[in-house]
Amino acid sequence: MMRATQLVTTGDIRTVDVPIPEPASGEILIKVEASGICGTDRHLYKGEFPSVPGKILGHEFSGIVVDSGDTSIAEGTRVTCDPNTWCGTCDQCLRGRVNLCKNNIATGIHRDGGFAEYCAFPASKAVKLPTDLDPLHGAFCEPLACTLHGMDMGAAKAGEKVLIIGGGVIGLMAVQIAKRAGADVMLLTRSADKQTLGLNTGADHAVGNEESLREVWPDGADLVVECAGVGATVAMSPKLARTGGRVVILGVLPQGEQVPVEPFDLLFREIQMHFSFLNPFTHGRAAQMVADGTISVAPLISRTISLEEAAEAIASPPLKGEVRAIVVPNGG
């Protein structure tokens, strides 16, 4: 038996005893080293994001292969887990839009995930990590992969003004990606602690409101990337883009929530709006960037918690100033 944090049903999450999974054909068994608590996990708990009841949550995780099954991945290999398994045969997959797969099976949502001591996982979706990598850092590959997809859409260029809204893990990774592109980068967040962290991880400016932004960039930003997942900031995003600018929405709002936009303004100023979903073809790139330190993730770890604390942490709002809480299922 093992301990695992299971979403029994909406509003009911518990850490329980369950059998250690047996890897099926094509799967490996991973001893989970680290699993990040994502905002999506809280949406799942509240019933604000579609899921399958009774599943073990956790889609941002990494660990050590302890059973190779019938695969070629050697036991003892450290891996990061790309949680999305596309079907490869639907019309979206055949068009290369795999993140829009009609039959996608998402680990931690549709199948058991990484808030557990062990996880059976498709070998084809495991990406190798260096043996000397800090065990906690592997949990950042999945959110970085999602961030890369959104930033690829935005296509920041050297010399452009790029505004990142939201000082969570996605926002602070987006800051680093935009800075590496040569942009002038501003972080917008009300948290003074996150403003400081943003400046320490590459932002040129950090502000707490639109008025302060306008003092620096009166005309707005060439690219606005919304990473907070808040209705007010999604609605604000096109207003903060300069004429001819671009907006990428990376933040996740609850299913059914609506926000006001002014189509005439978007038309008259020719504002491009994009919405970024999941991590198509970016997980391997993200793993390499974490492994070689291209993206700094250590400053983004706010706290580590045990598996016994995971259910309460997911059911509660994040702590003030928290960027990422990491669950360490097997101690550390």
Contact by Cβ (8 Å): 295, 289:
yes
Q: Using CA atoms, how far apart are residues 126 and 112, in angstroms rounded to an integer?
A: 15
Select which of 9, 10, 15, 40 is catalytic: 40
For 312, residues 6+ apart whose C-beta sits below 8 A from its C-beta are none
Contact by Cβ (8 Å): 81, 107:
yes
Select which of 5, 15, 43, 59 is catalytic: 43
Strand partners, 275: 249
Contact by Cβ (8 Å): 326, 305:
yes
Q: Which two tokens stand for residue 179?
A: 């800075």
| H/E element, 170 | helix 169-180
- What would you report as the CA-atom Rg of the chain, rounded to the nearest whole angstrom? 20
Contact by Cβ (8 Å): 171, 228:
yes
Is position 43 annotated as part of the catalytic site?
Answer: yes
Contact by Cβ (8 Å): 274, 248:
yes
Closest Cα to residue 274, out of 254, 251, 243, 257? 251
Using CA of residue 256, residue 53, residue 100, residue 228, what is the dihedral sign? positive
How many other CB atoms are there within 10 angstroms of residue 267's CB atom? 9
- Phi and psi for 297 in degrees, rounded to 5? -110, -20
Is position 149 annotated as part of the catalytic site?
Answer: no
Active-site residue numbers? 40, 43
